[in-house]
Structure 1
Amino acid sequence: MQENANLSVLIVDPNQGMRGSLQNMLNQSGISKVESAINASMAIKQLGKRAYDIILCEYDLGGPSGDGQDGQQLLEDLRHHRLITASTIFIMLTSEGVYDKVVSAAELTPTDYVLKPFTVEMLSSRIKRALERRTGLLPVWQLAAQGKPVDAIRACTTAAIASPRYALDFLRLKAELHVSVGEHAQAGSIYRDVLAERPLGWAELGLARTMVAQGQVEEARDTLEQLVQANPRLMAAYDLLARCHEKLGATQDAQKVLEDAVSISPHMVRRLRKLGEVALENGDALAAEKSFKQVVSKARYSEFRNPEDHVNLVKALVTRGDVQGASGVIRDLERSMRGSAEVDACKAYSSALLHEKMGNGSAAVAELQMAASAARTSNALSSNLRIGLAEACLEHQMDEQASNVMMTVMHDVSSPVSVDEAMGVFVRAGRPDLADGMGAQLRAQAQILLGVADEKRNMGDVRGAVQTLLEALHMAPGNLQVMVAVAGGILRQVNELGWDHTLSEVAAEQIERLRAMDPHHPRLAALTEEFQQAKRKYGISA
């Protein structure tokens, strides 16, 4: 048991007696570094301060009162917000007899789950098994965490020979690492080799993901439809299948797939949110209301609540004419979440929607003014909410507010909204003049940013220069000068600081766009050769 002495464990359980019993069991197994949390909120705060080797988490965290997140929702938050790493051992403890809850937990891939009641020997054996697997995979995880995916890929091959019992784990890791550096074809070959030996759901799902990444969306859809028939509880397959339907313009099919998934595993908050969004897009306000009510309820005790869920619920209720229900949701938002520009914007926007439905135009305008003002100072609002807010402003001839809100979208480098899509908001509203004005303003700002990037580069801040160049690209994506500067800046960073797959993809895209727009550009050949040299330097496949 001496090997367990340095392990740190976090017990997450609302029951004092169970926490004491678990600590006693761990002590008998030679583990003395044990801390406890009584609910998900406390666990998240503790994990924000330090890491633990093992987390023992009770599924039913609500306890007798039934309030608080459950273990599945906690695990969802921990993985999504990267509060735990791949090497963290997460063991779910449950006495639940309801199978769909077990499925919900299992789809988020805890290391293991243990059904109560259990003995010291049983818990010790599960921890030992998890530790052995972690020891085998840890060298690869460490290389990946250090930003050395190519080395990690090589390590998978040698480690699989040294630890054949984890051969499948290493193949899976290797494929995921190929995906992380954009080598989707190589990942697909690994998945196909695995499937040639035996049908495994994760390999079929991985293969479908590589298809989507390579633009083979119809083939991926067909593969996934067969996969969910053969593995009806492989929940991630439903999510990807819904995405395929969306990409193909079949949003009704996407909604149906998500509804099927929710009927099997009803506790995944992000899936419920996606279902609500798709239902709203399809004009199915009843389904959207049902989904967002569940999202608001399930996320109530999360440390990562999103006030936009309340906005979407108000949209659904207003569409259905339920003014009283929408008013109650706004009061709940005001009562339960305060103190941020994001919440202020969501409350004002929701109130504007309600006033509009009730025919109070002047009150709606006043709320939209407050929402637009708050949106300018919040970095947390989604692009979709900002676009909806801008469209609402345009409906009330609030040109300045609409332009200001859309400008915040264009200043957000992480926003998926392109310049053309942003301009489309004004064009659809019959205001191409506003689109032209915004375009001119963005081009001028992009030129200023090019100068700022030059200053940062001259001062040795290579990363800062690239981030500034990406801001310029977001504002002026078709500008040749910006495209050349972005490609060159990224290649300079890669050569000086190491391979970065995400940035390298951006550089490759700019080089190809430059080739399409101006095949005789004087910088094209040099950029192309520099990019190939960087790939050879870091062993990246062509």
Structure 2
Amino acid sequence: MQDNSKLSVLVIDPSPALRGSLQNMLNQLNITKIEFAVSSGTAIKQLMKRSYDIILCEYDLGSGTEDGQDGQQLLEDLRHHRIIGLWTIFIMITSEAVYSKVVSAAELTPTDYILKPFAVDILSQRITRAIDRRSAFLPVYQLIGQGNVRAAIRACAAAEVSTPRYAIEFARLRAELHVSLGELREAEKVYEGIIEVRPLGWAQLGLARTLFAQERHDEARQLLSRLIADNPRLMAAYDLLARCHETAGDPEAAQMVLEDAVSISPHMIRRLRHLGAVAMEAGDVAAAEKSFKQVVAKARYSEFRDPEDHVNLTRALVKKGDTNGATAVIRDLEKSLRGNTNVDACKAISMALVHEAAGNSEGAVAELTNAISAMKLAQNLSSGFKINLARTCLDHKLDNEAEQVMLEALNDDGVTTAQAMNVFVKAGRPELAETMTSQLKRQVAQLLNVAAEKSKMGDVKGAVQTLTEALRKAPGNTQVMAAAVQAIVRQIDELGWDHALAEVSTQQLDKLRATDGASSEYTKLSDSFNAAKRKYGIAT
């Protein structure tokens, strides 16, 4: 019989009676390390302090309130913000009436579901099954946690043979790990192999994602359209299909797809946020206002409220001509999010929009200046916020400020130089795009010089950090890529193996090979990296 005495469990349930019943059942299974949370907010606070082996979560956490977070939304937050690890067992407890809707529209599937009412033997079976599965996957999870992704891929491939009952799940994880390394062709082959055996919806979705990432947008769009027709409740397929339409420059089609998704699964905050953004792009201000209002209302119960949601709603209301409503949203922003480090920047840009709508250009300029100053103290403002701020600065002829904000945006993942330049071109200021390009080139040249100086002085870690910054500013610059690989190999050679840096080196070598794999420089860098691998017993 399985020894459960060392297992730790967090029970999340607003009902004292049900918490007591679950405690009694767990005690019968020799599980005594039990803690409780009565809401999603208290659960998140506890999970940020410590980890648990198992989470038993009631789906209905809202206690009858319309806008309270449910268990699925809580799981969304926990996974998105990486509060729980891959090894954490999350079991959702729900009624049969709700289950048929929840399981089909689930965005992030729990480890398992238990339907109420249930007896202790059912709970025992589900926990035993989950523990067995975790034991099979734990060696791979540990390699991932250590940053040794390539070893994790090899372990998955081996486990597909040695543990056939989980073969497809190991294949799925292997494909996801290839994607994390940017090895899209390899992931594509894995997904295609799974689909040949069983045409599973998630495998087709994974394949579509690899096609999209390879910019094979038409293929991805066609696959996703068929997938949604066959699996109308596979919600993530709608999100990716909308992105395909956006990439094709068709925000109206993207809006229609997301509206279909929201009609099926209306509580996913990130999708509602996306719908609001594409509706604004499509010029449908009413739909944008509706979506952003829902985001603000639903996020009110989340521990991860984002003041940028208030900015988005303000922008929609101003566009609609409702400045009184926009002002009320700003007041709510100040009141309900007091203490958030991003509030000042968000309030300032919101006030600038209201002043602009009222024809008060001087007030708008003053608030834009405040927003730029507040950005220095803000944390993790989105690239979209920065790009919109730069656009608004351009509208008021604040050219230097727009350039400053856009340079800041270019430090964010996912913002390309081409996207940044396009903002200036669309604003009718192509000369500013040229100025920005020149500034970036100068900054990259300076970073290369600083890195070279640090390397000469023996500061190998400092050189790598500087070149990592240069890579963010010029991701396609072959000189920077080569210098980064050279510096990383030196650090590994002198200071020991580093999985994360080794992955960066591998990614840059792959890019260099695609650019000019026949060059002597690429061969030299590849040979030196492989030599470092052999030194530490890493397979090449």
TM-score by length of 2: 0.90
**1: CA distance between counterparts of 2:2 and 2:478?**
63
Instruction: Look up the match of 1:425.
Output: 423
**2: CA distance between counterparts of 1:418 and 1:159?**
38
Deviation (angstroms), 1:54: 0.3
Deviation (angstroms), 1:347: 0.9
Q: Say what the alpha-carbon RMSD is for the aligned residues.
A: 2.9
2:12–2:55: 8 Å Cα contact kept in structure 1? yes
1:188/1:525 CA distance change after superposition, 3 Å: closer
- Once the two structures are superposed, the pairs formed by residues 39-438 of structure 1 within 5 Å of their partners are 39-65=39-65, 68-95=68-95, 97-98=97-98, 102-103=102-103, 106-410=106-410, 412=411, 414-432=412-430, 434-438=432-436
Question: CA offsets, 1:60-85, max 9 Å, x none?
Answer: 21214556422111101110111111
Question: CA offsets, 1:54-113, max 9 Å, x none?
Answer: 001111212145564221111011101111111111011123734675147733110111
1:419–1:477: 8 Å Cα contact kept in structure 2? no
**1: CA distance between counterparts of 2:327 and 2:346?**
13
1:439/1:107 CA distance change after superposition, 3 Å: closer
Deviation (angstroms), 1:151: 2.6
1:101–1:267: 8 Å Cα contact kept in structure 2? no
2:509–2:526: 8 Å Cα contact kept in structure 1? no
1:52/1:462 CA distance change after superposition, 3 Å: farther
Instruction: Look up the match of 1:509.
Output: 511
1:404/1:171 CA distance change after superposition, 3 Å: closer
Residue type of the alignment partner of 2:44: I
Q: Secondary structure at the match of 2:110?
A: coil
1:71–1:105: 8 Å Cα contact kept in structure 2? no
2:29–2:124: 8 Å Cα contact kept in structure 1? yes
Deviation (angstroms), 1:229: 0.8
1:276/1:361 CA distance change after superposition, 3 Å: same
Residue type of the alignment partner of 1:82: R
2:76–2:107: 8 Å Cα contact kept in structure 1? no
Residue type of the alignment partner of 1:269: I
Mean Cα displacement is larger for which, 123-132 or 494-503? 494-503
Deviation (angstroms), 1:488: 2.6
1:207/1:434 CA distance change after superposition, 3 Å: closer
**1: CA distance between counterparts of 2:464 and 2:513?**
16
Residue type of the alignment partner of 1:509: K
**1: CA distance between counterparts of 2:189 and 2:199?**
15
Query: How many residues align structurally?
Result: 534
Q: Does 1:471 align with 2:472?
A: no
Mean Cα displacement is larger for which, 232-241 or 73-82? 232-241
Deviation (angstroms), 1:159: 2.8
Instruction: Look up the match of 1:489.
Output: 487
**1: CA distance between counterparts of 2:167 and 2:129?**
16
1:19–1:36: 8 Å Cα contact kept in structure 2? yes
2:11–2:57: 8 Å Cα contact kept in structure 1? yes
Question: CA offsets, 1:432-488, max 9 Å, x none?
Answer: 554454444444433332243235545665454333213224445676653442343
Residue type of the alignment partner of 1:508: D
**2: CA distance between counterparts of 1:11 and 1:204?**
35
1:9/1:534 CA distance change after superposition, 3 Å: same
Question: CA offsets, 1:481-505, max 9 Å, x none?
Answer: 5344234334545665347435532
Deviation (angstroms), 1:381: 1.3
**1: CA distance between counterparts of 2:94 and 2:40?**
15
Structure 2 gap ranges (5+): none
Q: Secondary structure at the match of 1:4?
A: coil
1:214/1:409 CA distance change after superposition, 3 Å: closer
1:28/1:393 CA distance change after superposition, 3 Å: same
Deviation (angstroms), 1:302: 1.2
**2: CA distance between counterparts of 1:238 and 1:200?**
16
Residue type of the alignment partner of 2:510: A
Residue type of the alignment partner of 1:472: A
1:2–1:30: 8 Å Cα contact kept in structure 2? no
1:129/1:143 CA distance change after superposition, 3 Å: same
Question: CA offsets, 1:259-310, max 9 Å, x none?
Answer: 1111111111111111111111111111111111111111112111111111
Q: Secondary structure at the match of 1:34?
A: strand
Residue type of the alignment partner of 1:14: P
Mean Cα displacement is larger for which, 524-533 or 81-90? 524-533
Deviation (angstroms), 1:4: 0.4
Mean Cα displacement is larger for which, 450-459 or 308-317? 450-459
Q: Secondary structure at the match of 2:36?
A: strand
TM-score by length of 1: 0.89
1:39–1:68: 8 Å Cα contact kept in structure 2? no
1:416/1:154 CA distance change after superposition, 3 Å: closer
**2: CA distance between counterparts of 1:182 and 1:398?**
38
**1: CA distance between counterparts of 2:181 and 2:214?**
13
Percent identity between matched residues is 58
Mean Cα displacement is larger for which, 314-323 or 209-218? 209-218
**2: CA distance between counterparts of 1:9 and 1:105?**
26
1:484–1:511: 8 Å Cα contact kept in structure 2? no
Residue type of the alignment partner of 1:469: L
1:6–1:31: 8 Å Cα contact kept in structure 2? yes
Deviation (angstroms), 1:386: 1.3
Deviation (angstroms), 1:340: 4.2
Residue type of the alignment partner of 2:131: L
Deviation (angstroms), 1:532: 7.1
Question: CA offsets, 1:213-233, max 9 Å, x none?
Answer: 333221122111111111111
Structure 1 gap ranges (5+): none
Instruction: Look up the match of 1:526.
Output: 524
Mean Cα displacement is larger for which, 245-254 or 28-37? 245-254
**2: CA distance between counterparts of 1:432 and 1:187?**
39
1:376–1:408: 8 Å Cα contact kept in structure 2? no
**1: CA distance between counterparts of 2:210 and 2:391?**
36
**2: CA distance between counterparts of 1:164 and 1:482?**
44
Mean Cα displacement is larger for which, 118-127 or 250-259? 250-259
Mean Cα displacement is larger for which, 530-539 or 90-99? 530-539
**1: CA distance between counterparts of 2:417 and 2:326?**
33
Residue type of the alignment partner of 2:115: L
Mean Cα displacement is larger for which, 109-118 or 357-366? 357-366
1:254–1:278: 8 Å Cα contact kept in structure 2? yes
